[in-house]
């Protein structure tokens, strides 16, 4: 026991010296570390210190548990403040045992001592751990073992018995060291804590000042920026407002303008619609009226045709006995022609027209009727060509036949005839036929081009015109034939051969002289020959007959000599402009073939330049020429033009005839 005590004294002495040296370093190190940790915690944590401390206590208790698990060996404690072997009284057996006590920072550990050997080393995990900051140290004087005993007790523990222990030492010096050190550690830790708190407060203050400074600068910057922004904002707002107002104004103006234009457009459109509708209505009204006119005139015409049959034709035919007969059958047909046939034709036409107008509508057509049903109108030809004969026969019968004249007077008093005489009725077919074209042409003007009837009416007009022109041409042929026959009867031919054919046409007749000194003679221009006669005692003696095939004419009075002959094959168009002017003006005048006895030919034509005088020459052969003298230059020009045209026509016919002969030869 003494050896052990001596060895223990040395050990404790070394530990005391080392402990007092290390204490300062550990303190500084701990302080620095704690400062850093606290500083970090302060920056991260809130300003509520109470909550912070409570959390710290909980954390420390947990830390003790973790430390105990972690430090399972004495070698893990690296920086002990003080360590040594002390006697500890057990809790249940009440025995004093040796334990190895170590202080590191603010925690007291005690370990079990290895028993076998005398090395005095701690082994195993710590048997107990005390947080010195939470403990109190009291001196115990009533202990039996020795007066050197103190008690360590946790203040905040719920179970006091568990967290307290009695510690005793061998020597008083050692006891004093341990008993003084433990409270010092606590005080040191408390002082450190206060220092940390102060440092934290100081740091907080400085940080606050810094933040305040930064905040102030930021505020100034913000204020400056705010002022600038405010100015700009006001300007922007002003500009925005201006633009907005302008936009509103422009929108308003545009809307007003658009409204005005739209109103104008609507007015124009309404006017257009009204005009269009009115035009359409007027056109349709006119169209219907003309169609109605066609019907009413046809009805009136057919009525008159029937009237003639009832008043004149049937009574004349139906006389019972031969003695009472006023006219013969041939005389009746001579006067009235094919009147009953015309009545049949137009009665059928009237039925068709009536049917069209009974079913009248906007889409009704009437031109198709005239395309398909008017071929029978060709039968007007015999009536028209017979009209002249009818008129003469009627005059003869009226003057010579007393019974017929009385019959006519009685018939005229019939009220149905409206006091018109028979000639007024006989002229009506002559009147009616050309009227169809006039009616249809007016109807075409009132028909829209989109209407179906427009095409039909165009074709109908063409057809009606063909029929009427055919009738007109037949009448013209009839007149010409009568004229030629009349002339043929009047002429007296001695030794001169003169022949007429059915194709002979009279073109012109008039007075001429074959020389200046001789008396006036008379000349006929036919389409194939020229006949000069001499009038003597109301007789017409044929003096000379000139065939036009070999004839040429020359006008010596022109400024330039113009010779037109068939032998040379000269075309009229190749001659000078004088004749062209004359020919063109003559050709444009209608109806060249008409001429009459004692006709006064006053011409409004402009005379060609250079054409003067009243004579020209007939070139019969290379040796024979005849000069013809006329009354006036106009007369001469007319004769010259007619002869030239006739020669040209003969030349054309001759060429066509030769061409046809050649074709036959080739075939």
Task: Work out whether 535 is an interface residue with other proteins (CB under 8 A).
Answer: no
The dihedral built from the CA positions of residue 322, 327, 329 and 330, taken in this order, carries a sign that is positive
CB of 305 to other proteins, least distance (A): 13
664 CB-contact burial (10 Å; exposed 0-12 / middle 13-18 / buried 19+): exposed
Q: How far apart are CA 353 and CA 367, in angstroms?
A: 10
Q: Which two structure tokens, joined as six digits, stand for 392?
A: 């003469």
* Backbone φ, ψ for residue 526 (5° rounding): -100, 175
> According to CB under 8 A, which one of 476, 505, 543, 617 is a site residue for other proteins?
476
* Backbone φ, ψ for residue 35 (5° rounding): -60, -50
> Which strands sit side by side in the sheet containing 615-619, from one edge to the other?
562-565, 552-555, 615-619, 625-629
87, 97 Cβ separation under 8 angstroms:
yes
Residue 292 CB contacts under 8 Å (≥ 6 apart), including other chains? 357
> According to CB under 8 A, which one of 218, 300, 354, 584 is a site residue for other proteins?
300
Residue 97, strand partner residues: 88
Question: DSSP E strands: which ranges in 18-121?
Answer: 82-89, 96-104, 107-113
| Helix (H) or strand (E) segment spanning residue 51 | helix 49-70
Residues in the chain: 667
CB of 391 to other proteins, least distance (A): 6
Nearer to other proteins, 97 or 289 (CB): 289
555, 616 Cβ separation under 8 angstroms:
yes
Residue numbers 181-200 binding other proteins by CB under 8 A? none
* Stretch touching other proteins by CB under 8 A, among 19-27, 51-59, 93-101, 433-441: 433-441
Task: Work out whether 416 is an interface residue with other proteins (CB under 8 A).
Answer: no
Task: Work out whether 414 is an interface residue with other proteins (CB under 8 A).
Answer: no
Please name the residue ranges forming H helices in 413-451.
Answer: 422-426, 428-445
Helix (H) and strand (E) counts in the chain: 14, 16
CB of 416 to other proteins, least distance (A): 11
CB of 339 to other proteins, least distance (A): 15
* Stretch touching other proteins by CB under 8 A, among 13-21, 127-135, 292-300, 484-492: 292-300
> According to CB under 8 A, which one of 424, 488, 550, 561 is a site residue for other proteins?
424
> According to CB under 8 A, which one of 11, 387, 500, 522 is a site residue for other proteins?
387
Nearer to other proteins, 112 or 634 (CB): 634
Task: Work out whether 400 is an interface residue with other proteins (CB under 8 A).
Answer: no
Q: How far apart are CA 37 and CA 64, in angstroms?
A: 18
* Cα atoms in the Cβ-side hemisphere of radius 13 Å centred on 446: 20
* Stretch touching other proteins by CB under 8 A, among 202-210, 337-345, 365-373, 590-598: 590-598
538, 490 Cβ separation under 8 angstroms:
no
* Backbone φ, ψ for residue 419 (5° rounding): 65, 20
Nearer to other proteins, 102 or 422 (CB): 422
CB of 597 to other proteins, least distance (A): 9
CB of 611 to other proteins, least distance (A): 19
CB of 408 to other proteins, least distance (A): 10
Task: Work out whether 286 is an interface residue with other proteins (CB under 8 A).
Answer: yes
> According to CB under 8 A, which one of 189, 290, 484, 514 is a site residue for other proteins?
290
Task: Work out whether 606 is an interface residue with other proteins (CB under 8 A).
Answer: no
> According to CB under 8 A, which one of 46, 161, 537, 591 is a site residue for other proteins?
591
Residue 189 CB contacts under 8 Å (≥ 6 apart), including other chains? 106, 132, 133
> According to CB under 8 A, which one of 473, 490, 556, 571 is a site residue for other proteins?
473
Q: Which two structure tokens, joined as six digits, stand for 553?
A: 């004419």
* Stretch touching other proteins by CB under 8 A, among 61-69, 121-129, 296-304, 453-461: 296-304
CB of 617 to other proteins, least distance (A): 28
502, 513 Cβ separation under 8 angstroms:
no
> According to CB under 8 A, which one of 218, 399, 403, 653 is a site residue for other proteins?
399
> According to CB under 8 A, which one of 595, 611, 637, 646 is a site residue for other proteins?
595
Q: How far apart are CA 357 and CA 377, in angstroms?
A: 21
CB of 475 to other proteins, least distance (A): 4
CB of 476 to other proteins, least distance (A): 4
- Whole-angstrom CA distances from 423 to 297, 337, 392, 439, 475 are 19, 13, 11, 25, 19
Q: Which two structure tokens, joined as six digits, stand for 108?
A: 């007291």
Query: Can you say how many angstroms the Cα of residue 224 is from the centroid of all Cα atoms in its chain?
Result: 60
Q: How far apart are CA 385 and CA 478, in angstroms?
A: 7
What is residue 562's three-state secondary structure? strand
336, 313 Cβ separation under 8 angstroms:
yes
Task: Work out whether 585 is an interface residue with other proteins (CB under 8 A).
Answer: no
Nearer to other proteins, 287 or 554 (CB): 287
CB of 553 to other proteins, least distance (A): 24
Nearer to other proteins, 507 or 553 (CB): 507
CB of 469 to other proteins, least distance (A): 7
Task: Work out whether 437 is an interface residue with other proteins (CB under 8 A).
Answer: yes
> According to CB under 8 A, which one of 189, 371, 471, 532 is a site residue for other proteins?
471
> According to CB under 8 A, which one of 320, 501, 602, 622 is a site residue for other proteins?
602
Task: Work out whether 603 is an interface residue with other proteins (CB under 8 A).
Answer: yes
How far is it between the farthest Cα atoms of the chain? 218
> According to CB under 8 A, which one of 306, 344, 391, 454 is a site residue for other proteins?
391
Task: Work out whether 589 is an interface residue with other proteins (CB under 8 A).
Answer: yes
Task: Work out whether 584 is an interface residue with other proteins (CB under 8 A).
Answer: no
CB of 555 to other proteins, least distance (A): 23
Task: Work out whether 388 is an interface residue with other proteins (CB under 8 A).
Answer: yes
Q: Of the candidates 440, 455, 460, 445, which has an alpha carbon nearest to the alpha carbon of residue 284?
A: 445
Nearer to other proteins, 418 or 655 (CB): 418
Applying CB under 8 A, what is the total number of residues that bind other proteins?
A: 56
> According to CB under 8 A, which one of 24, 116, 569, 590 is a site residue for other proteins?
590
Residue 518 is given by DSSP the state: S
Nearer to other proteins, 443 or 647 (CB): 443
Q: How far apart are CA 586 and CA 580, in angstroms?
A: 10
Residue numbers 441-470 binding other proteins by CB under 8 A? 442, 468-469
- Which residues form the interface with other proteins (CB under 8 A)? 286, 289-290, 293-294, 296-297, 300, 384, 387-388, 391-392, 395, 398-399, 409, 413, 418-421, 423-424, 427-428, 430-431, 433-435, 437-439, 442, 468-469, 471-473, 475-476, 479, 589-591, 594-596, 598-604
């Amino acid at each position: 026991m003494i050896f052990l005590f001596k060895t223990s004294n040395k050990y404790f002495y070394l530990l005391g010296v080392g402990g007092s040296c290390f204490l300062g370093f550990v303190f500084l190190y701990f302080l620095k570390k704690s400062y850093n940790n606290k500083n970090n915690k302060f920056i991260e944590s809130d300003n509520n210190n109470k909550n912070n401390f409570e959390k710290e206590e909980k954390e420390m208790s947990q830390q003790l548990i973790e430390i105990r698990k972690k430090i399972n060996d004495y070698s893990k404690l690296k920086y002990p403040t003080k360590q040594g072997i002390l006697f500890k009284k057990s809790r249940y057996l009440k025995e004093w045992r040796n334990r190895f006590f170590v202080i590191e920072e603010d925690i007291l550990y005690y370990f079990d001592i290895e028993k076998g050997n005398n090395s005095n080393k701690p082994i195993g995990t710590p048997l107990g751990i005390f947080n010195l900051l939470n403990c109190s140290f009291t001196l115990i004087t009533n202990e039996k073992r020795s007066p050197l005993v103190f008690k360590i007790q946790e203040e905040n523990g719920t179970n006091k018995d568990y967290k307290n222990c009695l510690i005793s030492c061998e020597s008083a010096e050692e006891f004093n060291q341990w008993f003084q050190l433990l409270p010092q550690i606590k005080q040191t830790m408390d002082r450190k804590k206060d220092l940390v708190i102060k440092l934290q407060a100081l740091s907080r203050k400085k940080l606050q000042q810094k933040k305040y400074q930064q905040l102030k600068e930021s505020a100034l910057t913000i204020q400056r920026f705010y002022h600038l922004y405010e100015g700009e904002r006001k300007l922007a707002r002003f500009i925005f407002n201006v633009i907005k107002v302008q936009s509103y104004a422009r929108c308003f103006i545009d809307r007003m303008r658009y409204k005005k234009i739209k109103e104008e457009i609507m007015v124009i459109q309404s006017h257009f619609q009204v005009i269009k509708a009115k035009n359409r209505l007027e056109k349709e009204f006119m169209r219907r009226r003309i169609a109605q006119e066609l019907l009413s005139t046809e009805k009136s015409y057919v009525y008159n045709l029937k009237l003639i049959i009832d008043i004149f034709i049937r009574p004349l035919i139906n006389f019972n006995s031969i003695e009472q007969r006023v006219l013969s059958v041939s005389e009746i047909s001579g006067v009235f022609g094919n009147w009953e046939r015309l009545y049949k034709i137009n009665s059928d036409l009237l039925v068709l027209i009536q049917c069209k107008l009974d079913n009248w509508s906007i889409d009704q057509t009437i031109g198709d009727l005239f395309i398909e049903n008017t071929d029978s109108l060709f039968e007007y030809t015999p009536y028209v060509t017979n009209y002249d004969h009818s008129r003469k026969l009627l005059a003869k019968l009226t003057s010579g036949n007393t019974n017929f004249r009385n019959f006519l007077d009685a018939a005229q008093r019939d009220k149905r005839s409206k006091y018109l005489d028979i000639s007024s009725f006989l002229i009506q077919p002559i009147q009616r036929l050309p009227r169809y074209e006039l009616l249809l042409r007016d109807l075409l003007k009132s028909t829209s081009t989109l209407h179906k009837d427009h095409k039909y009416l165009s074709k109908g007009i063409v057809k009606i015109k063909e029929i009427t022109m055919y009738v007109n041409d037949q009448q013209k042929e009839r007149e010409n034939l009568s004229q030629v026959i009349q002339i043929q009867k009047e002429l007296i031919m001695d030794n001169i051969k003169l022949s007429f054919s059915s194709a002979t046409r009279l073109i012109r007749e008039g007075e001429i002289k074959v020389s200046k000194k001789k008396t006036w003679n008379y000349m006929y221009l036919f389409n194939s020959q020229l006949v000069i006669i001499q009038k003597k005692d109301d007789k017409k003696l044929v003096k000379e007959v000139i065939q036009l095939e070999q004839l040429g004419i020359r006008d010596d009075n022109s400024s330039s000599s113009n010779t037109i002959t068939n032998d040379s094959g000269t075309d009229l168009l190749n001659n000078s402009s004088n004749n062209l002017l004359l020919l063109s003006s003559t050709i444009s005048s209608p109806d060249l073939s008409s001429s009459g006895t004692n006709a006064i030919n006053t011409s409004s034509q402009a005379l060609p330049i250079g054409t003067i005088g009243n004579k020209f020459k007939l070139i019969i052969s290379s040796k024979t020429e005849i000069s013809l003298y006329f009354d006036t230059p106009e007369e001469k020009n007319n004769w010259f033009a007619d002869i030239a045209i006739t020669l040209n026509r003969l030349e054309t016919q001759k060429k066509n005839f030769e061409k046809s002969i050649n074709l036959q030869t080739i075939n």
